[in-house]
Amino acid sequence: MTAQAQHSPSSPAAQRGWSALWKVEDWWAIWIGLGLVLAAVLLFKSGSSLQWLAVAPAKWHAPAELAAHFAAQWPRYAALFVLWSVLFGLGAWSLGLPLQHFLPSFACVFLVSILLYALGQWDQASRYSLEPPLVGLLLGLLVSNTIGVPRWAEAGFRVEFYIKTGIVLLGAGLPLTLIVWAGPTAIVQAAIASLVTFGVIYFVGIRLGLDRRLAAVLGTGGAVCGVSGAIAVAGAVGARKEHAPIAITLVVLWAIVMIFLLPLLSRALGLPTGVAGAWIGTSEFADAAGFAAAQAYGGYAGHVPGIGGSADAAVNAFTLMKVIGRDVWIGVWAFVLSFIAISRWDDTGIQQRARVSEIWHRFPKFVLGFLLASAAVSLFARGLNYGDYKKTVIPLLVAPLQGLRVWAFTFCFLSIGLTTRFRELASAGIKPFYAFTAGVVVNVVLGYLLSAQVFASFWTSFGQ
């Protein structure tokens, strides 16, 4: 259960038209992300930088070093907390979440995130596999499934809000030319994996006697965009109300398994960061879960012998595969399946129409923010030579934005664990489990073959 909405944006009409700009989470991720990009550019042009705000724990060996860092830098952490509280608080309030619940809850998320970030900066962290995304997830799962968290506190555990904002900020660190260059490969690879995975889940489900709508909801959850894909298609085909929770249970459980399994397998196989990121982007189900896995694997670069590529390559390759390759097609899947449901499947007694406009209405708008952030920084840096870009733009403009992105991701990873209560998930049933799991197995094997064999040289060079 989630926190009660204070002023309800319950009317679906509220999500249509101009009011969607302040009633839908994706748009708030864009306003926050692009607002920070704009602020960073303006400060840079005036000879300043967001650097002071984008504080992060430095590498440390002894606890005394860490304590000295916090003693010296606490005003910057306080300012960072105020910045995030205002930005996310404004968004949460506009979405209808009660601020008196959101703010104290977010304060806890922020404080624990500082500790997670600091843990990741310990010089022995990689030796003990203490990757902040994985530690944050496990810590959240442990707390929510043992001692529990109060219901009101869930207002501050907005997984998708944090990850979407982080993705927009991530765009500022990815040159538009790189997205244009790598995008087509990501789309081709994702299309192959999505179509095959959907087909396997759907047809195994039908063979097992599942309702066609449930099979389609499961298939989209496994093949396209996890929980988001499942609910988008559930609404488009008019699924029974118990269908979406079944798909959500299976997506959440398998996504958590994959957060740990895919980096583990990639590490055992010695995959370069770019290849592993592409594999995770092909075979992980949810954006938030995939970023946790990709960021954890990126942390191995330079620390674990035999792992080639840059630290950022895993996250960048994952982003292209998942966001550009899979997420953006969610509206198309919903439109096509709604058309098939209306024209070929059994009558539900409800009059529905397949509307092409649904492709736009269901489009994950935060992707536009990601592309605009990339375009804005790329345009700004266009007139500069590479030396100036590396010497000034990266440390004073790009790096602070990426620092803020890491914070947003950390809030998200912790929130995944804090909102996942295994005993509250809907019972999936054995047949949906078999159908979904068949798709998982095929998807993981296919994802490996495409990333590490068919397109191996592409993703390896991408990570250099």
Partner 1 sequence: MNPAPAQAPRPGSKAADGVVKGRCRDCSSFNASPAELERAFPGLASMGSGYGAVRGNDGLCAMHGRYLSGLSSCGSFSRR
Q: Which of 216, 288, 317, 446 binds partner 1 (CB under 8 A)?
A: 288
Q: Which of 105, 113, 165, 228 binds partner 1 (CB under 8 A)?
A: 228
Question: Of 238, 234, 278, 230, which is closest to residue 254 (Cα–Cα)?
Answer: 230
Query: For the chain, how long is the longest CA-to-CA vector?
Result: 69
Question: Of 275, 313, 270, 318, which is closest to residue 293 (Cα–Cα)?
Answer: 318
The residue (of 160 and 312) whose beta carbon lies closer to partner 1 is 160
- Cα distance between residue 12 and residue 332, in whole Å: 21
Q: Kindly report the number of other CB atoms within 10 A of residue 310's CB atom.
A: 17
Stretch in the footprint of partner 1 (CB under 8 A) among 53-61, 263-271, 354-362, 400-408 = 354-362
- Cα distance between residue 446 and residue 200, in whole Å: 12
Site residues (CB under 8 A) for partner 1, limited to 25-64: 25-27
The residue (of 351 and 453) whose beta carbon lies closer to partner 1 is 351
Give residue 221's identity as a one-letter amino acid code: G
Is 235 one of the binding residues for partner 1 (CB under 8 A)? yes
Question: Of 104, 106, 66, which is closest to residue 84 (Cα–Cα)?
Answer: 106
Whole-number minimum distance, CB 128 to partner 1, in Å?
A: 27
Is 330 one of the binding residues for partner 1 (CB under 8 A)? yes
Q: Which of 124, 241, 305, 343 binds partner 1 (CB under 8 A)?
A: 241
Question: Of 141, 167, 150, which is closest to residue 365 (Cα–Cα)?
Answer: 167
The residue (of 12 and 383) whose beta carbon lies closer to partner 1 is 12
The residue (of 60 and 329) whose beta carbon lies closer to partner 1 is 329
Q: Is the CB of residue 7 less than 8 Å from the CB of residue 96?
A: yes
Structure token pair of residue 412: 């998200």
Question: Of 34, 370, 391, which is closest to residue 178 (Cα–Cα)?
Answer: 370
Question: Of 202, 223, 364, which is closest to residue 282 (Cα–Cα)?
Answer: 223
- Cα distance between residue 156 and residue 235, in whole Å: 27
Structure token pair of residue 414: 């912790």
Is 276 one of the binding residues for partner 1 (CB under 8 A)? no
The residue (of 31 and 459) whose beta carbon lies closer to partner 1 is 31
Q: Which of 273, 295, 378, 419 binds partner 1 (CB under 8 A)?
A: 419
Q: Is the CB of residue 375 less than 8 Å from the CB of residue 176?
A: yes
Is 409 one of the binding residues for partner 1 (CB under 8 A)? no
Stretch in the footprint of partner 1 (CB under 8 A) among 221-229, 400-408, 441-449, 452-460 = 221-229
- Cα distance between residue 370 and residue 171, in whole Å: 5
Is 343 one of the binding residues for partner 1 (CB under 8 A)? no
Site residues (CB under 8 A) for partner 1, limited to 64-93: none
Q: Which of 252, 278, 293, 401 binds partner 1 (CB under 8 A)?
A: 252
- Cα distance between residue 244 and residue 426, in whole Å: 10
Is 100 one of the binding residues for partner 1 (CB under 8 A)? no
Total site size for partner 1, rule CB under 8 A: 80
The residue (of 10 and 385) whose beta carbon lies closer to partner 1 is 10
Q: Is the CB of residue 310 less than 8 Å from the CB of residue 463?
A: yes
Site residues (CB under 8 A) for partner 1, limited to 121-180: 154, 157-161, 164
Stretch in the footprint of partner 1 (CB under 8 A) among 24-32, 63-71, 429-437, 453-461 = 24-32
Stretch in the footprint of partner 1 (CB under 8 A) among 106-114, 250-258, 309-317, 403-411 = 250-258
Question: Of 147, 229, 29, 159, which is closest to residue 419 (Cα–Cα)?
Answer: 159
The residue (of 98 and 403) whose beta carbon lies closer to partner 1 is 98
Is 426 one of the binding residues for partner 1 (CB under 8 A)? yes
The residue (of 9 and 183) whose beta carbon lies closer to partner 1 is 9
Classify burial at 208, counting beta carbons within 10 Å of its beta carbon; exposed 0-12, middle 13-18, buried 19 or more.
middle
Q: Is the CB of residue 28 less than 8 Å from the CB of residue 95?
A: yes
Q: Which of 87, 114, 231, 377 binds partner 1 (CB under 8 A)?
A: 231
Whole-number minimum distance, CB 120 to partner 1, in Å?
A: 22
Cross-strand pairs, 122: 60
Q: Kindly report the number of other CB atoms within 10 A of residue 147's CB atom.
A: 7
Q: Is the CB of residue 377 less than 8 Å from the CB of residue 172?
A: yes
- Cα distance between residue 308 and residue 298, in whole Å: 10
Q: Which of 12, 47, 150, 209 binds partner 1 (CB under 8 A)?
A: 12
Q: Which of 45, 127, 240, 391 binds partner 1 (CB under 8 A)?
A: 240
Over the window 358 to 377, marking each residue x when it contacts partner 1 by CB under 8 A and - when it does not, the resulting string is x--xxxxxx-----------
The residue (of 40 and 169) whose beta carbon lies closer to partner 1 is 169
Q: Which of 209, 305, 349, 383 binds partner 1 (CB under 8 A)?
A: 349
Stretch in the footprint of partner 1 (CB under 8 A) among 4-12, 75-83, 128-136, 193-201 = 4-12
Stretch in the footprint of partner 1 (CB under 8 A) among 39-47, 266-274, 351-359, 382-390 = 351-359
